[in-house]
């Protein structure tokens, strides 16, 4: 900054330019990180609410940064989406999951998060199916989680992609349900198989018991439409019990296990598989 004639401080506003440079740098670093497989899949258990059987794992990206340690998606997903790196990142994660899965039971399913950008890519579905085939992964073991915001932009392309995945046996889940713009018409048009109840609803159930009715309403909607329901953010036995009573079929949350690296997954498999 320098002094103007009137004695005020005038900034040179280098901020914008710096910010652009910083973003370009982060994009380049992210690209590198993907190429070096520093972006790795962490896994979080998806369990049957009745009985607790492990049926699947949600794949959650982590950046194993050589200097900064393990970074959560909040540190890099937005930039990956805005720069288009999210597509090679997804490919890399899918390939790593196929490799990890070789060591686990063949009925274990994998849930992947898809960015809105990916849904707008007309070749997305084909690409996923091809990678799965190359990795020896039956597409019927894949679940794709999309958010409501990911769909509203271009319903046509999103719908074609999802229809193609579904035709190959991939399960479609609507993530963070209840927090965005999903309509009944959208559920109908996209033929989703499952709703994931956003964890904010589960959290508010604990602080405000009346809020339980919102969770009950979502589960009732899903059940009426013949869809499965996954409750996320289950942090204690009480939450597991409550959503199970209301008719949700699957659960996910710290009570069942935190997102963890591949080596931890063996600890979650049923004891007879370890013998």
Sites of contact with ligand C2E (CB under 6 A): 44, 60-61, 72-74, 77, 86, 93, 113, 115, 175-176, 199, 232-235, 252-254, 259
Q: Which is nearer to ligand C2E, 238 or 273 (CB)?
A: 238
Between CA 225 and CA 159 the distance in angstroms is: 19
State the binding string over 67-106 for Ca ion (x if CB under 5 A, else -): ----------------------------------------
For residues 162 and 149, the answer to whether their CB atoms sit within 8 Å is no
Nearest distance from residue 235's CB to ligand C2E, in Å? 4
Q: Kindly indicate which of the ranges 14-22, 38-46, 164-172, 174-182 contains the residues binding Ca ion, using the contact rule CB under 5 A.
A: 174-182
Chain positions 130 to 159 lying near Ca ion, rule: CB under 5 A, are 145
For residues 229 and 195, the answer to whether their CB atoms sit within 8 Å is yes
Which CA distances in Å does 197 have to 10, 152, 176?
50, 19, 6
259 touches, from ligand C2E, Ca ion, none (C-beta below 5 to 8 Å by class): ligand C2E
State the binding string over 178-217 for Ca ion (x if CB under 5 A, else -): ----------------------------------------
Q: Which of 176, 197, 218, 244 binds Ca ion (CB under 5 A)?
A: 176
Q: Which is nearer to Ca ion, 29 or 63 (CB)?
A: 63
60 touches, from Ca ion, ligand C2E, none (C-beta below 5 to 8 Å by class): ligand C2E
Q: What is the total count of residues that contact Ca ion (CB under 5 A)?
A: 4
The catalytic site residues sit at 232
Nearest distance from residue 114's CB to ligand C2E, in Å? 6
Nearest distance from residue 128's CB to ligand C2E, in Å? 13
86 touches, from Ca ion, ligand C2E, none (C-beta below 5 to 8 Å by class): ligand C2E
Q: Which is nearer to ligand C2E, 8 or 124 (CB)?
A: 124
What's the chain look like in SS3? Answer: CEECCCCCEECCCCHHHHHHHHHHHHHHHHHHHHHCCCEEEEEEEEEECCCCCEEEEEEEEEEEECCCEEECHHHCHHHHHHHCCHHHHHHHHHHHHHHHHCCCCCCCEEEEECCHHHHCCCCHHHHHHHHHHHCCCCHHHEEEEEEHHHHHCCHHHHHHHHHHHHHCCCEEEEEEECCCCCCHHHHHHHCCCEEEECHHHHHHHHHCHHHHHHHHHHHHHHHHCCCEEEECCCCCHHHHHHHHHCCCCEECCCCCCCCECHHHHHHHCCHHHCC
Nearest distance from residue 198's CB to Ca ion, in Å? 6
Q: Which of 100, 143, 148, 175 binds Ca ion (CB under 5 A)?
A: 175
CB neighbour class for 58 (10 Å; exposed up to 12, middle 13-18, buried from 19) = buried
249 touches, from ligand C2E, Ca ion, none (C-beta below 5 to 8 Å by class): none
Residues that bind Ca ion (CB under 5 A): 113, 145, 175-176
């Amino acid at each position: 900054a320098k002094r103007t004639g009137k004695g005020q401080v005038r900034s040179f506003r280098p901020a914008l330019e710096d910010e652009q440079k910083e973003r370009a740098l982060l994009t380049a670093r992210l690209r590198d990180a993907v190429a070096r497989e520093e972006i790795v899949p962490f896994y979080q258990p998806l369990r049957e609410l009745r009985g607790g059987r492990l049926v699947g794992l949600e794949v959650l990206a982590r950046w194993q940064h050589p200097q900064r340690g393990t970074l959560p998606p909040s540190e890099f997903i937005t930039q990956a989406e805005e720069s288009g790196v999210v597509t090679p990142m997804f490919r890399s994660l899918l390939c790593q999951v196929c490799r990890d899965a070789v060591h686990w039971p063949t009925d274990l399913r994998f849930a992947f998060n898809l960015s809105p950008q990916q849904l707008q890519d007309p070749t997305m579905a084909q690409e996923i199916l091809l990678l799965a085939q190359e990795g020896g992964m039956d597409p019927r073991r894949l679940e794709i989680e999309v958010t409501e915001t990911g769909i509203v932009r271009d319903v046509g392309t999103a719908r074609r992609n999802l229809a193609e995945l579904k035709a190959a046996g991939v399960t479609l889940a609507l993530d963070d349900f209840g927090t965005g713009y999903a309509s009944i018409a959208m559920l109908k048009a996209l033929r989703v198989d499952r709703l994931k109840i956003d964890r904010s609803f589960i959290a508010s159930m604990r602080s405000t018991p009346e809020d339980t009715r919102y969770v009950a309403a979502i589960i009732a909607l899903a059940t009426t439409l013949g869809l499965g329901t996954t409750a996320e953010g289950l942090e204690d036995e009480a939450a597991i019990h409550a959503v199970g009573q209301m008719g949700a079929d699957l659960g996910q949350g710290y009570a069942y296990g935190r997102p963890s690296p591949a080596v931890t997954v063996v600890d979650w498999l049923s004891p007879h598989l370890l013998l």
